[in-house]
Amino acid sequence: MDVVAQLIDAIGEQNVVTGAQVTEHFNGILDPTPMCARAIVFPRSTDDVSAVMKICYEWSQPVVIQGGKSGGVQGHVSKPDEIAMDLKKMSAIEEIDTVGRTATVQAGCILETLQDAAVDKGLMFPLDLGGRGSCTIGGNIATNAGGERVIRYGMMREQVLGLEVVLADGTILSSMNSVIKNNTGYDLKHLFIGSEGTLGVVTRAVVRLRQNMPSSNVALVAMDSFDQVLAVLQQADTGLAGQLTAYELMSQNWYELNSRHLGVSPMENGGNYYVVIETQGSESEHDLEKLEKVLMPLYEQGLIVDAVLAKSQKEVEQIWGIRESVEAATSMDSPYFIYDVSVPMKHMEAYLGNVESGIHENFPRGQCYCVGHVGDGNLHFLVLPFAAGDKAELHKQVNNQVYQPLAEFAGSISAEHGVGIEKKAYLPISRNETELQLMKTLKKTLDPKNILGRGRIFDY
Ligand SMILES: Cc1cc2nc3c(=O)[nH]c(=O)nc-3n(C[C@H](O)[C@H](O)[C@H](O)COP(=O)(O)OP(=O)(O)OC[C@H]3O[C@@H](n4cnc5c(N)ncnc54)[C@H](O)[C@@H]3O)c2cc1C
């Protein structure tokens, strides 16, 4: 029997897709092209995952793990010689503990499903991002996802209490801790969080839930300078006393593009920068007053040009729509490249100026849109070069404009999407040789045959 026949024997024919049928599956929501892989396996349990990994380890067969296939750096995209392991059949929410405020979930559970289930119990799962309807908890753990509420609740790493992982040789490592404090030696879960499917298959997790906040308010604020964006952040954080949940930047061209595209115009006076401010609290009227009280002096001090408060759910959705919608930018007649970087706040304006001028010098018709979770130092760019030439070559040129200045500003080539395949060549900008060597030692120890996520993050 070859490796595929053994996999069919181990987990059943109905859970393995081979041959031409592989191409009926797609590479992901950002890349709806047909998949290629030696086979796709759909394990139903941790034991199935373990059986698959034992066989693949025996055969030195490369495996790539797939959750919701919404990843931004191609880490989940399978190669023709790989077995793709899709975790969609492991999607159960096994338990919600309303007293301990935890959820025990299988890795293939969709983020939005967990969010909804928590709200049904009067609780909330705070991680939130634009791909919420597709991405999975396992994928969120593997990429250490961030999103729009990191400023208040932290990244995925902060939400995970316990993990179950299957190692490259099929060993099941169960570390399903459910308490917040547990200092009993090395906290092994952190090895796997953010490891992008290169150290083990996350199969189950215990995550923290928080009390659901019954009141939420959203404001859209316009400002003229980046200094003002940062000054308003500090004053809002102080004035809102713990209620600030999101502080999301949009460049003027992004705001104009999307408000035109969506046919909404919430604000009369514009600025060079726009920020969505979201607060969450427990008393709607009181919280709204508090937000107004914070914004009014900022306006009087000339720190903000204009501000509007959403007065209905429809207005909330319109404001978030302008921030989150990517349809207008991605349907234009140019290749587009998406970026996710971190920069210390004090260098953000200089870095931003550097990238924008680099793009305009190299691509005279180019457009550089900037949005970002600016409250935690994270910027996203969407660059459209509007230039002729090979797409891969254009991508490289734009990459250089975005990544090279990061070394000077002590930034990171990846804030929250990970490295995957797309950013591998640029990793030395953000990591030194000693760090890279230790990462490779860990990889070699946990996956000596280099079968899990081979060629993702780094080569060795
Ligand atoms: C519209 C949109 C908005 C987005 N916004 C954000 C954002 O604000 N913040 C953010 O952080 N990301 C964002 N993303 C990116 C993406 O949603 C996240 O990276 C997400 O965490 C990926 O989850 P997934 O289940 O889709 O993983 P996949 O894309 O399937 O996989 C991603 C990586 O994780 C590995 N992996 C997946 N599941 C497992 C597992 N169970 N065990 C081990 N490894 C695994 C894969 O091998 C791959 O390397 C956005 C994406 C879209 C499409």
Q: What is the pLDDT of residues 346-381, one digit of tens each?
A: 999 999 999 999 999 999 999 999 998 988 999 999
Q: How confident is the model at residue 116 (pLDDT cuts 50, 70, 90)?
A: very high
Ligand 1 center to 236 CA (angstroms): 31
**Closest-CA residue to 236 (of 244, 227, 245):** 244
Secondary structure (DSSP) of 2-34: -HHHHHHHHH-GGGEEEGGGGGGSBS-TT--SB
* 72 within ligand 1 shell (Cβ under 6 A): yes
Tokens, residue 46: 């941790």
Tokens read off for 237: 């954080």
Q: Show the tokens assigned to 375.
A: 């409250």
Q: What is the pTM of this model?
A: 0.95
The answer, yes or no, to whether any atom of ligand 1 lies below 6 A from the CB of 43, is no
pLDDT higher than 90, residue 343: yes
Q: CA 131 to CA 429: how far, in whole Å?
A: 28
Please identify which residue in the block is written with the tokens 């060549």: 425
In the structure, what pLDDT confidence band is assigned to residue 284 with cuts at 50, 70 and 90? confident
Please choose from 25, 49, 53, 65 the residue to mutate so as to test ligand 1's pocket, defined by most ligand atoms within 8 A of CB.
65
Per-residue exposure over 291-300, b if at least 16 CB sit within 10 Å of its own CB, e if not: beebbeebee
pLDDT above 90 (res 91): yes
Token pair for 170: 């099929």
Question: Are the C-beta atoms of residues 61 and 43 closer than 8 Å to each other?
Answer: no
Decide the pairing of beta strands 39-41 and 83-86: parallel
How many whole angstroms from 304 Cα to the centroid of ligand 1?
35
Pairing of strands 172-175, 306-309: unpaired
pLDDT at 39 over 90: yes
Q: Using one digit for the tens of pLDDT, what is the confidence trace for 435-449? A: 999 999 999 999 999
Residue 270 has a pLDDT of 85
CB 87 near ligand 1, within 6 Å = yes
Q: Is the pLDDT of residue 1 over 90?
A: no
Q: What is the pLDDT averaged over residues 198-220?
A: 96
Q: What is the pLDDT of residue 31?
A: 85
76 lines ligand 1 (CB under 6 A): yes
Give the integer Cα–Cα distance in Å for 457 and 37.
20
Query: What percentage of the chain exceeds 90 in pLDDT?
Result: 95
- CB 358 less than 6 A from any atom of ligand 1: no
Most confident of 17-31, 156-170, 312-326: 156-170
Distance 198 CA to ligand 1 centre (A): 14
Provide the 3-class DSSP secondary structure of residue 174: strand
Low-confidence winner among 18-27, 29-38, 62-71, 75-84 (lowest mean pLDDT) = 29-38
What is the average pLDDT across 52-78? 97
141-156: average pLDDT:
96
Residue 225 has what pLDDT? 93
Q: Which two tokens stand for residue 293?
A: 């009280």
Ligand 1 neighbourhood includes 421 CB (under 6 angstroms): no
Question: How many whole angstroms separate alpha carbon 285 and alpha carbon 289?
Answer: 6
Instruction: Choose one of 79, 127, 143 to mutate for the ligand 1 pocket test, by most ligand atoms within 8 angstroms of C-beta.
Output: 143
CA atoms within 13 A on the CB side of 356: 14
Extended beta strands in 200-272, E state: 201-208, 210-211, 215-223, 244-251
Q: Which two tokens stand for residue 175?
A: 């570390």
Which protein residue has the closest C-alpha to ligand 1 atom 16?
A: 71
Helix (H, G, I), strand (E, B) or coil at 160: strand
Torsion sign over Cα 277, 282, 285, 289: negative
Contact criterion met (CB below 8 Å) for 18 and 55 = no
Please report the pLDDT score of residue 202 as a whole number. Answer: 98
Specify the residue for token string 């049904």.
120
CA–CA distance, 47 with 38 (Å, rounded to integer): 22
Contacts of 334 (CB under 8 A, 6+ apart): 367, 384, 385, 386, 387
**Integer angstrom CA distances of residue 108 from 50, 68, 91, 172:** 16, 8, 4, 17
Tokens representing residue 312 in the block = 């209905």
CA 320 to chain centre: 17
By percentage, how much of the chain surpasses pLDDT 70? 100
Radius of gyration of the chain (CA): 23
